[in-house]
Each structure stands twice: as C-alpha cells, then as structure tokens.
C-alpha cells in the first residue's frame, strides 16, 4: 500500500494513534493524540498488564474517538494496517457473516471492533495510514505518529513496572 500524504480537511480533528506491547502477549500500552483544528494537542494514554499489540492498536483508536464530542469531523491516523483494513474493508463482511471471518472463524478482538464501530457511528470519520517509525525531514509531518509511538511504549513500560 503506497503512502499518501496527509491533507487535513477544514475543521477536522486529527487523531494520531498507536499501540505497543512488550511481548505479544504481554504488558501493553496505547496512545492517542488529539490534534484539534486550532493547533492544540491532547495526549491520552493507557495500558493493560496482559494484552496484544493488536488490542492496543484498536484501543488507541477507540479511546481517542471516545474523547471527542459527538458529531466531530475526524481523521484517524494509524500505522497499523490491521486496524485500517479491519475498519475500512473487512468489517462489512464480518457483520454480514455474523462476526465470522472469510474462513468461518470468530473475528479476533471482536469486542473492540464492535465498540469502535459504534463509536465511529457518532462521528464523521475517515482513516489515513502512515508508514510508521520513520524519521528525517521528509517525514517531519509525522512527528505526532512518532510521539504516539513513544507514549504507547512508555505506557507499556509503566504497566510492566507495576506488574
């Protein structure tokens, strides 16, 4: 999938999300950075003692969306292809098939996918994928992706330290 430059729309909130896990499963963390249209940023983080990276990716998007007022115009920015594909391509088929995959298995992380679906219904949302963990001048516009990654890793470490 080629990366397309992010072009925010007028009045749109950018929601930068990331998840991290130390071991998979293991202690995990998530981060969501809400970039309001006025330029202000709000950082949200959390974690779980025994989880997976995928669950943390879903949770980051879910908690970020939950923080927004109903009816927000939002672009969810993720470096997780699983999260993106789940919510933009596969979810319609999963619903039609009674939350089963094409192979007939139950959808993994269904609780979070369903919660995300419900939360998305409250907003005017679109998705944007960015290549993660890159640096340099060409990627300066993705500084909030890098920040979300650092916050998620720190949240996972904090959970691990208390376990």
57 is an active site residue: yes
pLDDT of amino acid 139:
54
Dist CA 103 CA 141 (whole Å): 39
- b vs e for 41-70, b when ≥16 Cβ sit within 10 Å of the residue's Cβ? eeebbbbbeebbbbbbbbbbbbbbbeebee
136 is an active site residue: no
Options 3.40.50.620, 3.40.50.720, 3.30.2130.10, 3.30.420.10; CATH for 13-80+116-162 is 3.30.420.10
User: What pLDDT digit, counting tens, does each position of 28-61 carry?
Assistant: 999 999 999 999 999 999 999 999 999 999 999 9
**Catalytic residue (choose from 12, 28, 29, 57):** 57
0.85 exceeded by pTM = yes
The mean of the pLDDT values for the chain is 92
CA-based torsion, 91, 97, 99, 105: positive or negative: negative
User: What pLDDT digit, counting tens, does each position of 85-115 carry?
Assistant: 999 999 999 999 999 999 999 999 999 999 9
pLDDT of amino acid 142:
74
**Catalytic residue (choose from 79, 123, 128, 146):** 79
149 is an active site residue: yes
Write down the domain spans for the chain.
Answer: 13-80+116-162
**Catalytic residue (choose from 41, 43, 133, 134):** 133
pLDDT of amino acid 115:
98
pLDDT of amino acid 134:
58
**Catalytic residue (choose from 18, 63, 119, 146):** 18
Dist CA 30 CA 10 (whole Å): 27
């Amino acid at each position: 999938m080629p990366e397309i430059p992010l072009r925010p729309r007028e009045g749109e909130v950018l929601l930068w999300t990331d998840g991290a896990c130390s071991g998979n499963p293991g202690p995990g963390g998530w981060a969501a950075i809400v970039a309001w249209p006025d330029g202000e940023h709000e950082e949200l983080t959390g974690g779980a003692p025994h989880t997976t990276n995928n669950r943390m990716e879903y949770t980051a998007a879910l908690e970020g969306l939950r923080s927004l007022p109903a009816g927000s115009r939002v672009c969810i920015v993720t470096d997780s292809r699983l999260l993106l594909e789940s919510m933009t391509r596969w979810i319609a088929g999963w619903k039609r098939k009674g939350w089963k995959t094409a192979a007939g298995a139950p959808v993994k992380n269904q609780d979070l996918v369903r919660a995300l679906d419900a939360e998305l219904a409250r907003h005017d949302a679109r998705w944007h994928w960015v290549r993660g963990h890159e640096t340099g001048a060409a990627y300066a516009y993705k500084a909030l992706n890098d920040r979300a990654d650092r916050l998620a890793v720190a949240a996972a470490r904090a959970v691990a330290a208390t376990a």
